[in-house]
């Protein structure tokens, strides 16, 4: 499969890379990291990265604005995106050939060519693997820019190598990538430095989360609370993992009110939670998933379901 993807990259003059909405470091890392890899090895090709920019990722890179006409005869590569509804920039359908590269469960097998590896810690790790194949098969070289983005994507999706998804392969990839000219301190600052208001909100979370005897915990962040801390829904991304530090916690859910909906962000240290996410029209990984609730009453149903999962796990 990796060789078929490399053949397609060789074949097309214009390549457009997409990733998922509400991007995170692995979305940018895999999408723009692969773009940089292609640019470094095929400077004659026209390579674009699309999707709405998220300000919190400005330390990584910026996507581009392009016209519809660019999609004609283009190769489309979508990274880190499980289902078509979550592809940022729906013009991907206008391309000539679509490749899906992802590490989420393959519930929506879209694309003309698919490479899905749920054992990969991150999609950026898969792009590193593609590079390794490219090195042997097509003489690819890594660039500093690509290495920096891929490293950030791996760090982001493994929670700084803490999650069980980080395997020896992950560490090997990271070990190779840090040999390039990367300012790791600047990257880590960009990823983990928090404004004081967010640290205050983190304090609120630690003071107000609710946990039961099975290790199921939740915290609700309605608009009034977000306003109190002058925080936007997207800024809470850095706080989702915070409850993981609580002793005896097994799984947790953070509810964040956003416009007329409630974003449901689920995390776990063992119990499988992505089936629950699917029940609420979401999805994701077995230990990190998301969904949407349409009322606080529905949020309470999510809590009950998660409680049942943790009880059974215990």
- CB-wise, 24 or 88, nearer to ligand AMP? 24
Given 33, 215, 271, 283, the residue binding ligand AMP (CB under 6 A): 283
Sign of CA pseudo-dihedral 303, 308, 311, 312: negative
CB 12, CB 97: distance < 8 Å: yes
- CB-wise, 197 or 281, nearer to ligand AMP? 281
Binding mask 107-146 for ligand AMP (x = CB under 6 A): ----------------------------------------
- Closest approach of Cβ 88 to ligand AMP, in Å? 12
Distance CA 169, CA 209 (A): 35
Q: What residue number has its CB nearest to ligand AMP?
A: 290
Given 63, 134, 215, 290, the residue binding ligand AMP (CB under 6 A): 290
Which part of the chain contacts ligand AMP (CB under 6 A), choosing from 89-97, 118-126, 276-284, 294-302?
276-284
**Alpha-helical runs (H) found in 115-195:** 123-138, 144-157, 168-177, 184-192
CB 3, CB 133: distance < 8 Å: yes
Query: Angle at which helices 123-138 and 144-157 pack, to 10 degrees?
Result: 140
**Span between the terminal Cα atoms of the chain, in Å:** 40
Which part of the chain contacts ligand AMP (CB under 6 A), choosing from 34-42, 113-121, 195-203, 286-294?
286-294
106 is a site residue for ligand AMP (CB under 6 A)? no
Closest Cα partner for 144 from 66, 81, 61, 76? 61
Distance CA 194, CA 178 (A): 24
Which part of the chain contacts ligand AMP (CB under 6 A), choosing from 34-42, 165-173, 290-298, 301-309?
290-298
Indicate the DSSP class of residue 91: G
Distance CA 210, CA 216 (A): 8
For residue 23, how far is the Cα from the chain centroid? 6
Which part of the chain contacts ligand AMP (CB under 6 A), choosing from 132-140, 175-183, 282-290, 293-301?
282-290
Residues in the chain, total? 314
265 is a site residue for ligand AMP (CB under 6 A)? yes
Residue 48, helix vs strand vs coil: strand
103 is a site residue for ligand AMP (CB under 6 A)? no
Given 282, 302, 303, 310, the residue binding ligand AMP (CB under 6 A): 282
Given 249, 291, 303, 309, the residue binding ligand AMP (CB under 6 A): 291
Given 217, 256, 289, 302, the residue binding ligand AMP (CB under 6 A): 289
Distance CA 158, CA 165 (A): 7
- Closest approach of Cβ 81 to ligand AMP, in Å? 8
Please give the residues from 198 up to 227 whose contact with ligand AMP meets the rule CB under 6 A: none
Q: State the residues that interact with ligand AMP by CB under 6 A.
A: 24, 82, 86, 104, 240, 265, 282-285, 288-292
């Amino acid at each position: 499969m990796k060789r078929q993807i490399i053949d397609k990259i060789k074949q097309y003059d214009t390549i457009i890379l997409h990733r998922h909405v509400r991007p995170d470091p692995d979305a940018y890392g895999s999408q723009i990291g692969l773009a940089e890899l292609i640019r470094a090895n095929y400077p004659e090709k026209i390579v674009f990265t699309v999707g709405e920019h998220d300000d919190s990722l400005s330390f990584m890179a910026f996507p581009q604005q392009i016209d519809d006409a660019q999609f004609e005869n283009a190769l489309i590569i979508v990274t880190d995106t499980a289902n078509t509804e979550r592809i940022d920039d729906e013009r991907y359908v206008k391309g000539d050939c679509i490749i899906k590269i992802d590490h989420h469960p393959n519930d929506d097998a879209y694309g003309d060519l698919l490479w899905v590896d749920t054992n990969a810690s991150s999609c950026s790790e898969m792009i590193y693997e593609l590079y390794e194949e490219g090195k042997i098969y097509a003489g690819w070289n890594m660039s500093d820019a690509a290495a920096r983005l891929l490293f950030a994507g791996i760090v982001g999706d493994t929670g700084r190598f803490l999650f069980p998804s980080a395997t020896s392969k992950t560490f090997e990839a990271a070990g190779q990538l840090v040999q390039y000219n990367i300012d790791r301190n600047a990257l880590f600052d960009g990823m983990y430095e928090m404004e004081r208001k967010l640290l205050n909100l983190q304090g609120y979370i630690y003071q107000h989360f609710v946990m039961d005897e099975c290790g199921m915990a939740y915290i609700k962040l309605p608009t009034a609370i977000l306003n109190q801390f002058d925080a936007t829904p997207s800024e809470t991304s850095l706080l989702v993992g915070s409850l993981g530090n609580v002793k005896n916690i097994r799984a947790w859910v953070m509810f964040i009110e956003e416009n007329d909906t409630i974003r449901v962000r689920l995390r776990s240290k063992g119990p499988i939670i992505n089936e629950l996410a699917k029940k609420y029209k979401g999805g994701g990984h077995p230990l990190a998933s998301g969904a949407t609730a349409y009322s606080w009453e529905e949020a309470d149903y999510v809590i009950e379901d998660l409680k049942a999962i943790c009880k059974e796990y215990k």
